[in-house]
Amino acid sequence: RERMKNLSIHRPIIYGNVASVLTPKQREQLAATAPDHTHTWTVAVRSAATAADQDPESTMVGGADDLGYFIKRVTFKLHETYANPVRNIDRPPFEVTETGWGEFEIQIKITFVADAAEKPITFYHHLKLHPWPAPGEPEIPPLDVAVKLGPVHSWQYDELVFNEPFNTFLDTLTKH
Ligand code: SLL
């Protein structure tokens, strides 16, 4: 195999989170183990290329299942208040769902298939639980107000760029 000189190829991705206030029933289920948890959230890496094909009614951001052919693993490093904070996800959807009470920075490391011979790429995402406050409103709204406002989304668009990829990896990327 050989490097493709003067060629660069990119794949668009979206990474981020959605968060909702726990329902009374969910809080009840967590009462014994995590009584201080207020939110459920999902942090994810998704394809931005398939996002346009989606059902316009869907509230999901990005395409969940379209990255597995060139991503081997996504490692989400959570706050150390979580049990087993390093979560390795080895197939799509590349996401972690948890419950909690606080916002923190999540390290997202993307490892590529061996054939790519590419170094892992790391992103950082600030887990967002609370909506942006209206002027004059408190930084963290009371839970009943947050419920009415609905799920909070925080997503970023980025591109995985491969410079002078191996011809074999280029085939993998383009033939999919
Ligand atoms: C803060 N710097 O103080 C942040 C830390 C940590 C959030 C937030 C769950 C922990 C658990 C959780 O929400 N940790 O499961 O015990 O706001």
- Domain boundary assignment for the chain: 8-175
21: Cβ contacts below 8 Å, ≥ 6 apart: 38, 39, 143, 146, 147
Q: How far is the CA of 57 from the centre of ligand 1 (A)?
A: 32
Report cis status (omega within 30 of 0) of the bond before 85: no
| Alpha carbon 126 to chain centroid, angstroms | 11
Q: Is the CB of 117 under 6 A from ligand 1?
A: no
Atom 9 (ligand 1): residue with closest C-alpha?
Answer: 100
Phi, psi at 112, each rounded to 5°:
-95, 160
Distances (CA, A) of 83 to 38, 87, 113: 17, 10, 28
Mutate to test the pocket of ligand 1, among 30, 40, 82, 130 (most ligand atoms within 8 A of CB): 82
Q: Is the CB of 82 under 6 A from ligand 1?
A: yes
Per-residue pLDDT, 56: 67
Atom 3 (ligand 1): residue with closest C-alpha?
Answer: 102
- Would the pTM count as exceeding 0.95? no
Eight-class DSSP state of 174: H
Residues 80, 159, 94, 62, CA torsion sign: positive
Q: How far apart are CA 66 and CA 79, in angstroms?
A: 28
Question: Is residue 67 a contact partner of residue 45, using CB atoms and an 8 Å limit?
Answer: yes
User: How many angstroms separate the most distant Cα atoms in the chain?
Assistant: 61
Q: How far apart are CA 11 and CA 63, in angstroms?
A: 13
Per-residue pLDDT of the chain (176 residues; tens, 9 = 90+): 999 999 999 999 999 999 999 999 999 999 999 999 999 999 999 999 866 566 667 777 777 668 999 999 999 999 999 999 999 999 999 999 999 999 999 999 999 999 999 999 999 999 999 998 889 988 899 999 999 999 999 999 999 999 999 999 999 999 88
Per-residue pLDDT, 62: 76
Per-residue pLDDT, 170: 96
Q: Is the CB of 101 under 6 A from ligand 1?
A: yes
Single out the residue of 69, 168, 160 nearest to residue 116, CA to CA: 168
Per-residue pLDDT, 72: 97
**Superfamily the domain 8-175 falls into:** YEATS domain (2.60.40.1970)
Per-residue pLDDT, 54: 66
Per-residue pLDDT, 66: 82
Q: How far is the CA of 50 from the centre of ligand 1 (A)?
A: 33
Atom 6 (ligand 1): residue with closest C-alpha?
Answer: 102
Q: Which amino acid is at 112?
A: F
Question: Is residue 73 a contact partner of residue 86, using CB atoms and an 8 Å limit?
Answer: no
